[in-house]
Amino acid sequence: MRKLRIVVAMALLISMVAGCSHMSTTQQRALSGGAIGAGSGAALTILTGGSVLLGTAIGAGVGTVGGLVYDDVQKNK
């Protein structure tokens, strides 16, 4: 069962990366920020014993905003 989860996770990751090829830079940065934030939020809530779903959602939101802010800073250089 564990190997099936790993295969499904890898397939999802590969399809997400392949789906980004026609996105603008802003969209790519927002998406990658959201993904990094979701992963970080999930990991932190697992470590602290909180609600993983809530931590993932909050992390995704914060990461998306962070990606958009980073994109804005890069465009204004």
Q: For the segment 54-65, what is each residue's pLDDT rounded down to a tens digit?
A: 999 999 999 999
Average pLDDT value for residue range 41-46 = 91
> Is residue 18 in a domain?
no
Q: What is the pLDDT of residue 20?
A: 65
57 is written with which tokens? 């959602």
CA distance 30 to 70: 9
Per the structure, how many domains does the chain have? 1
pTM of the model: 0.72
> Is residue 61 in a domain?
yes
What is the extent of the structural domain holding 43? 25-77
> Is residue 17 in a domain?
no
| Mean pLDDT, all residues of the chain | 86
> Is residue 1 in a domain?
no
Residues 6+ apart with CB under 8 A from 55: 41, 42, 44, 45, 46
Average pLDDT value for residue range 44-72 = 93
Average pLDDT value for residue range 4-28 = 77
> Is residue 19 in a domain?
no
Q: What is the pLDDT of residue 17?
A: 67
